[in-house]
Amino acid sequence: MKIYNLIKRKLFVIICLLLTVSCVTRQEMVYFQGIEQLSKSEDRNFGNNLEIQPDDILTIRVSAPEPEAAIPFNLTKSLGSNSGMNGNVELETYLVANDGTIQFPVIGTVEVKGLTNHELAKKIKEDIEEYVKDPIVNVRILNFQISVIGEVKNPGTFSIQDDHITLTKALAMAGDLTIFGKRENILIMGEEDGKKTYAYLDLTNANIANSPHYNLRQNDVVYVEPKATRRQSAGSTGLASTYLSIASVLASLIILITR
C-alpha cells in the first residue's frame, strides 16, 4: 500500500510538471504588453502618410529646359575611380536638421518638416522660378523604412522606394503571416507630433482599406501577435526532455515495484 501511495504521489508530480512545461503564457511571448499606456491613434491624414521629419535624408533634383540654369541647384559629389580619372557623380543628400530645415543652394534655409515630398518639390519650384525658367523639382526621402515583426515568414526592416506603402504590401514584403499569426489584431506603432502612438487593424475585415492607418508612415512598426496555438506549440518544444524524465521515473518505479 505504501508503494502504491508513493507511485500515486510521483505520478501526480509528473502530471503537474508536464502541464507546467507545455503551457507558455501570453506574458512570456507577446511583445508590447501594456501598450495602452501610449496614446491611441484615432486618425491620420489619408493623403499625407509620408511627411518629412528631422533626421530624414533627402535627395533633391532640379532640371530645366536649359540644363545650365539648373546646375547651381544640384549639388553633386564624385564617386571616385580606381583608374585615377574622374569617376561618376551623384547628388548630394540633405539631412533634415532638428529644427526641421535644410540648407538649399542659392535660396538658403528651407523649412521642410511636415511636408510631403510633393509639397516640398512645389515649394522649392516656386522659390527658384526667379532663377530658372520652367524648373522641374523631384524630391525623394531616402530613409523611408518600416519594420514588420512577429508571426510573419521574413520579419525585418524594409526600405521603401515609393512615396507610400500599405499594410498589406508591407506584410507581403515580409512573406505574409504564418498560420500562427492573429489576423484580426495587427498592431501598428508609429509617432505623431513626437509622441509614440498605436492602433489595431483587422485583416479579416474588408473595411481595413478605409482606415487611415492602412497607409503606413516612415518608421512605423507592424507587429503580428501569435495565436494561442503558437504559444502551445512553443511550450511543446520542451516536452521531449520532459518525456525522457518521465520515462526515467517510471522505469525506477517499475524496478521498485518488482523487487
Quote the CATH superfamily of domain 57-141.
wza like domain (3.30.1950.10)
Compute CA distances 196 → 32, 53, 112, 200, whole Å.
12, 14, 21, 14
Coil, helix or strand at residue 78: strand
Interatomic CA distance for residues 207 and 167, integer angstroms: 13
pTM reported for the whole predicted model: 0.67
C-alpha cell recorded at residue 164 = 507610400
- What pLDDT sits at residue 162? 79
- What pLDDT sits at residue 85? 47
Q: Considering the domain 33-47+144-230 in this protein, what is its CATH number?
A: 3.10.560.10
The pLDDT profile of the chain, 259 residues, written as one tens digit per residue, is 555 566 556 655 655 555 555 555 656 656 667 766 666 666 565 555 678 988 999 999 999 999 999 999 999 887 665 544 455 778 999 999 999 999 999 999 999 998 989 999 999 999 999 999 999 999 999 989 999 999 999 999 999 887 789 999 999 999 999 999 999 999 999 887 778 889 999 999 989 988 888 999 888 999 999 987 765 665 555 555 555 565 565 556 556 555 5
Interatomic CA distance for residues 23 and 154, integer angstroms: 26
